[in-house]
């Protein structure tokens, strides 16, 4: 069973529908006991970073995700869910994330680039991450205005208007994507299946 954390923010129905189409059992839940007893966890997120992290903390899910990490459950952060795993985001001020990874998200220069970065873009995958098994440098779907330049845990990168940024990370049982696999067609379904097969 994959628990999709419902903390009031995220593309929950789309993620659930994607797993349903793969015949992978999942549940949208805010019940901490269900999350802690699940096999794997999805940390979703859309919208503004501060709103998302404040809601997440106010509902006590920071402690829950910490327990899941210590229990070595596979966790997949998606979009703002990925950003929350890092130290800081500069969206509407500088705000602290959960701090599992070093790094800070900054805004694309909207005097140069169209912001948000929205639509399909190619990612370059590094070998070795199970999330991308049997996938080679695909096009995936992005919607974001803030980006991470790089991370030592980066397993995929993307280029938007000449700016390289981190598209996915992996360390131990934690995986995360800046793009939306649930909106990325057959490639996204393959990524979610690979997560379900971990």
Catalytic residue status for 180: yes
Catalytic residue status for 129: no
Which of 144, 158, 166, 182 is an active site residue? 182
Distance of CA 127 to the CA centre of its chain: 19
Which of 25, 68, 79, 163 is an active site residue? 79
| 63 three-class SS | helix
Q: How far apart are CA 30 and CA 50, in angstroms?
A: 19
H or E stretch covering 157: strand 154-160
* CA 74 vs CA 36, 95, 175: distances in Å: 12, 26, 7
Contacts of 37 (CB under 8 A, 6+ apart): none
Q: Please say whether the beta carbons of 100 and 86 come within 8 A.
A: yes
Q: Please say whether the beta carbons of 183 and 14 come within 8 A.
A: yes
Which of 95, 117, 144, 180 is an active site residue? 180
Query: Could you give the maximum distance between any two Cα atoms of the chain, in Å?
Result: 47
Catalytic residue status for 79: yes
**Residues carrying an active site annotation:** 79, 180, 182
């Amino acid at each position: 069973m994959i628990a999709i954390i419902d903390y009031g923010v995220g593309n929950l129905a789309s993620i659930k529908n994607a797993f349903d189409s793969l015949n992978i059992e999942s549940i949208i839940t805010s019940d901490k006991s269900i999350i802690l007893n699940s096999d794997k966890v999805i940390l979703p997120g859309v919208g503004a970073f501060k709103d998302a992290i404040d809601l997440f903390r106010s509902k006590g899910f920071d402690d829950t995700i910490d327990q899941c990490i210590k229990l070595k459950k596979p966790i997949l952060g998606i979009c703002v869910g990925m950003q929350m795993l890092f130290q800081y985001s500069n969206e509407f001020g500088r705000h602290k994330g959960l701090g599992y990874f070093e790094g800070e998200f900054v805004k694309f220069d909207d005097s140069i680039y169209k912001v948000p970065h929205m639509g399909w873009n190619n990612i370059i995958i590094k070998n070795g991450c199970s999330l991308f098994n049997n996938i080679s440098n695909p096009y995936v779907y992005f919607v974001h205005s803030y980006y991470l330049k790089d991370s030592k845990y980066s397993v995929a990168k993307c280029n938007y208007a000449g700016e390289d940024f981190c598209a996915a990370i992996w360390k131990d049982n934690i995986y995360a994507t800046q793009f939306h696999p649930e909106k990325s067609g057959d490639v996204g379904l393959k990524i979610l299946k690979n997560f379900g097969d971990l």
